Amino acid sequence: MSQRKRLACGVIAILFAGSVINYIDRAVLGVVMPQIRGDLGLSNTDYGFAVNAFLLTYMVSYIGGGRIADRFGVRRAFLWVTIIWSFASVSHALTRGLASLCFFRALLGLGEGGFYPTAMRGAAELFAPKDRAKAVGVLLAGISVGALVTPPLVATIAARYGWRSSFLLTGLLGFLIIPFWIFIQRRLEPAVSAASGSDENPTETDLSVKEVLRRRKYWFFLLARALSDIAWYFFIFWLPGYFQVVRHFDLAMIAGFLWIPYLCADLGAIAGAWGSSALIGRGLSVDAARRGALIFSALLGSFGAGAYYAPTWSVSLALVGIALFGHFSMAANLHTVITEITPARHVAVLYGVTGAAGTLLAAISQPVVGRLVDIAGYEIPFVVGGGCYLLAILLMLGAGKIERLTRSNAAGDRLATINADAGL
């Protein structure tokens, strides 16, 4: 293995660790919220305000953090966002009421939102197309690893040392990876310069951010990601409640079985990434390999709709596992495609826009899901969640060839504009 490739793998390993810690730090609150409510006298409504404070700044930082990564580079951006979110996570230990909790959550979202655009730019810079999805798959697998380890880790710390210590100790994890990043960043620039693929070098044919935002290809892939994010957030926020209310799980069964879908998600991220990369290695074009993986993965994601109708809880859980396998297999390729169709110098900010759009639609959908569950139960949300993947397939098919947008190939890809003379 060449020195450049070893360095690239080292960078991805650090970014993977950052992805795991990033998710742990955001998920701590959900685990210890009953203790916080009891100590500080907060209501469920107050908890909702705290969640929204995080989501708002997280959404904004997805775009702002991407712009920073494009402007100042991955090395600096990674340091800045990691320091901000780790400091914010530790600061939760100082919470005294709703105002301070919302402030610390907002600060956490500000730091965490910039991480994934930064990481995706790093993957785009360091890896050629045949290996790029592998790197993205590893990054996304960090999310599911974080989902797996957070409940037992945080619950153990909180039970022994109190909920404030759970924020303090998990928040310090982010600071631990900074020295490794400082060590490796000194060797990062040669690797970036030597990255394979001439498509990484900005040229006069590159589009500006504003021009990309007028292209159908970009918007179709953005909407496909947003639809899959709606389904993912449904599984994250509502799956435990569904299995307790409808499938009659107790807490012991939740702890004993509900980790299985997240393990499936990890396997999906790796399988989807390695699968499309293998197809490219066997001679398929990037367009054919990515598109095939995307469609097959999205079809698996739609299996989640059947979980509601399954005759037993075990079949229901298996269908959710298949859906999450498909979701992350699709995500590994879809997130990679977004970096492959956007100009290299704007990768982070344009990837950030897609993340912000997904977060916004997912946030809007949560009260709608809650209302539907209150009125009619979980059937409609499950069916709609499965349908999101089928709609995503139509969008991905309609987006056209997977290739970088430039002035020379985007003339026929413009969104329809409103003609003022038509009186519309």
For every residue of 104-148, which 3-state class applies, written as one string? HHHHHHHHHHCHHHHHHHHHHHHCCHHHHHHHHHHHHHHHHHHHH
Owning domain of residue 65 = 1-182
Domain assignment present for residue 45? The answer is yes
Of 135, 167, 182, which residue is a domain's last? 182
The verdict on residue 326 lying in a domain is: yes
DSSP-derived secondary structure letter, 199: G
Q: Please, what is the average pLDDT of the chain?
A: 85
Is residue 187 a part of any domain in this protein?
no
- DSSP helix/strand/coil, 215: strand
Which of the given ranges, 58-62, 127-131, 169-173, has the highest pLDDT on average?
169-173
Stretch 371-389: mean pLDDT: 91
CA 249 to chain centre: 28
Task: Give me the pLDDT at residue 183, please.
Answer: 86
- Mark whether 388 and 256 lie in a shared domain: yes
Gyration radius of the chain's alpha carbons: 21
Average pLDDT over residues 218-231: 94
Alpha-carbon gap, residue 16 to 24, rounded angstroms = 13
Both tokens of 412, joined, read 């026929």
For the ranges 92-101, 178-187, 212-221, the lowest mean pLDDT is seen at 178-187
Global pTM value: 0.79
The set of residues, in sequence order, having a beta carbon less than 8 Å from that of 311 and lying 6+ positions away, is none
Answer yes or no: is 170 within a domain: yes
pLDDT score of 190 more than 60 = no
Which run of H or E residues covers position 204?
none
Are 233 and 85 part of one and the same domain?
no
Residue 36 structure tokens = 């916080």
Question: Would you state the pLDDT for residue 414?
Answer: 63
Same domain, 258 and 175: no
User: Same domain for 216 and 135?
Assistant: no
For the stretch 332-372, pLDDT in tens is: 999 999 988 998 888 888 998 998 898 888 778 877 888 88
**86-97 pLDDT per residue, tens:** 999 999 999 999
Residue 240, helix vs strand vs coil? helix
Please tell me whether residues 130 and 268 are part of one structural domain.
no
> Same structural domain for residues 288 and 159?
no
pLDDT tier, 421 (very low <50, low <70, confident <90, very high otherwise): very low
So what's the pLDDT on residue 238? 80
Using 50, 70 and 90 to split pLDDT, how confident is the model at 296? very high
399 domain residue, yes or no: yes
The fraction of the chain above a pLDDT of 90, given in percent, is 41
Same domain? For 269 and 359 the reply is yes
CA dihedral (25, 327, 140, 354) positive or negative: negative
CB 217 within 8 Å of CB 341: yes
Give the residue, 53 or 217, on which the prediction is more confident.
217
pLDDT of res. 424 = 37
Q: Tens digits of per-residue pLDDT, 130-148? A: 788 888 888 888 887 887 8
Backbone dihedral angles phi then psi of residue 248, each to the nearest 5 degrees: 60, 40
Which comes out higher in pLDDT, residue 51 or 308?
A: 308
Tell me the per-residue pLDDT of 56-71, one tens digit each, with 9 for 90 and over: 899 899 888 888 988 8
Residue range 235-251: mean pLDDT, rounded: 82
For residue 180, give the nearest of 259, 293, 75 by alpha carbon: 75
How far, in whole angstroms, is CA 139 from its chain's centroid? Answer: 9
Q: Quote the CA–CA distance of 79 and 61 in Å, as a whole number.
A: 15
Cβ contact 171:107 at 8 Å:
no
In a domain, 159, yes or no: yes
Using 50, 70 and 90 to split pLDDT, how confident is the model at 417? very low
Task: Pick 370 or 412 by higher pLDDT.
Answer: 370
pLDDT class for 18, splitting at 50, 70, 90?
very high
Considering the domain architecture, whether residues 323 and 403 belong to the same structural domain is answered as yes
Domain holding 337: CATH number? Answer: 1.20.1250.20
Q: Are residues 11 and 133 in the same domain?
A: yes
3-state DSSP helix/strand/coil % of the chain, to nearest 5: 85, 0, 15
The answer on 170 and 226 residing in a single domain is no
Amino acid at 249: F
Tell me: pLDDT of 196 over 80. Answer: no
Instruction: Give the rounded percent of residues in the chain with a pLDDT score beyond 70.
Output: 90
Answer whether residue 416 shows pLDDT above 70: no
Confidence tier at 399 by pLDDT (50, 70, 90): very high
> How deeply is 213 buried, as exposed, middle or buried, from its count of CB atoms within 10 A (0-12, 13-18, 19+)?
middle
Task: Name the residue with higher pLDDT: 226 or 6.
Answer: 226
Q: Are 364 and 234 in the same domain?
A: yes
In a domain, 10, yes or no: yes
Where among 149, 182, 215 does a domain terminate?
Answer: 182
As for how many domains the chain has, the answer is 2
- On the question of pLDDT at 329 being above 70, the answer is yes
Calpha distance 28→154 (Å, rounded): 6
- The last residue of one of the domains, among 148, 182, 216, is 182
Which pair of structure tokens corresponds to residue 265?
A: 């998600």
Is the pLDDT at 422 greater than 50, yes or no? no
Q: What is the pLDDT of residue 251?
A: 64
Reported as a pLDDT band with limits 50, 70 and 90, residue 198 is very low
193 found inside a domain: no
Higher-confidence residue: 52 or 315?
A: 315
Given a cut of 60, is residue 27 above it in pLDDT? yes
Q: Quick one: 173 and 214 in the same domain?
A: no
pLDDT at 233 over 70: yes
The closest alpha carbon to 348, from 178, 157, 113, 129, belongs to 113
User: Mean pLDDT throughout 153-171?
Assistant: 90
